[in-house]
Structure formats: C-alpha cells, structure tokens
Amino acid sequence: MKEFTFKINGAEYKCAVEEIEAGKTNVTVNGKVYTVETEAAAAPAPKPAAKPAPAPAAPKPAAAPAAPKAEAPKPAAVPAAGVQVKSPLPGSVIKVLVSEGQAVKKGDTLLTLESMKMENAIMAEADGTVKQIAVTAGQNVMQDDLLIVLG
C-alpha cells in the first residue's frame, strides 16, 4: 500500500492506494474507502518510465514527465559495484549529511527524509565510502528511488 497527501484548493487529503488486482483497487481518502476501477493500459505506463532506455519516449505524455526526469539519469550514473541505499518510503529530502568521497560506518546517518510530516534518518547499511549522491535537499522521492551509493 502506498500513502500520499494531496492538497487541492487548500484542502488536504490523506490517501492510501492498495495494490491493483483484476483492474480494481481500494483507495482510502480521509478515512473513507472507495473501490476504483483502473484501465488495463494505465498499469503498464509507469514501468517503462523506470527503465533507462524508454526515457526519451516517456516525456511526450503529459502525465509521465516528472518520474522519468527524476529516475532516468540515476540508473545510468550508478557505479557497477556498490551498496545502493534506496528510499524506504516516499517523501522529501530535507538534508544530505554526507559528501561524495566521505568514509562512513554502518549506522551513520546519510540524510534526513521527511514523509507524512515525520523526519526519518536514512542510515548507512554498511561501512564504505560515498561513491554517489543521487538526490539533493528539497527533492521529492518515491519508495525504492536511489538515494546514495556506497562503495
């Protein structure tokens, strides 16, 4: 299940979307559950956007340009070897606390991620050196987006 907060005309809506099964999903908006039917073509659209090869074709649709711009450069820039630290949940990067080339120990805080008005410390999963920082302060990320690569 993925959770989002939308602000529409100044009103805030807390939404949770369950996995899509057989063209239907349950969407909870401010505590009320709605069953929503989805089109078969809607589900595959995000998958090509995550792959580096189809990224040039993805900016043409109006609904998909934000995701390819954020995700397309990341896979190409990832070093072949290294520990990829990915976002455990969607949110906004508040602070990046390390720099490329910096040595870190397992458990060191690499960055702070805000999600659902809570700050989450993203820590190093292993000892190593920061090889790549794939995000900047203020950037929005989705679950499983690449944050940092340790080598």
pLDDT by residue (tens digit) across 106-140?
999 999 999 888 999 999 988 999 999 999 999 99
Residue-level pLDDT at 73: 43
**Burial of residue 123, with CB atoms counted within 10 A of its CB: 0-12 exposed, 13-18 middle, 19 or more buried:** middle
What is the CATH number that goes with domain 79-151?
A: 2.40.50.100
- The ranges of the chain annotated as CATH 2.40.50.100 are 79-151
Name the residue among 64, 41, 39 with its Cα closest to residue 54. 64
Give the pLDDT band (50/70/90) at residue 82: confident
Per residue in 20-73, pLDDT tens? Answer: 777 788 888 888 888 888 775 444 445 555 555 555 555 555 554 554 444 434
